[in-house]
Amino acid sequence: MQTPDVRRRVIVHGNVQGVGFRASVADAARTRGLGGWIRNCEDGSVEAVLEGDEHDVDALTRYCEYGSRGANVIRVESFDEEPEGLATFEIRD
């Protein structure tokens, strides 16, 4: 029996802009076959929406707690939402 898809909004606080964080999360999401997007926010945080298999979404949420090599993650907020059926993952400006 297949696990239903889930959607999670993740907001990552810390030194996460200008350090390859969005690209590393996008690569990990695409490798796992997740849909969604990631973007920089004006307050210096990064926001992402992850959709797909619950196990893969959980794994990528945990990845966001550490991120790319130059990142210094202070705090991660996550919120479950109703899936929209996003099939691809993009980096937004």
Which amino acids are annotated catalytic?
Answer: 22, 40
Please give the Cα distance from 9 to 77 (Å, whole number). 8
Please give the Cα distance from 74 to 82 (Å, whole number). 27
Name residue 50's amino acid: L
Question: Which tokens sit at 70?
Answer: 């130059």
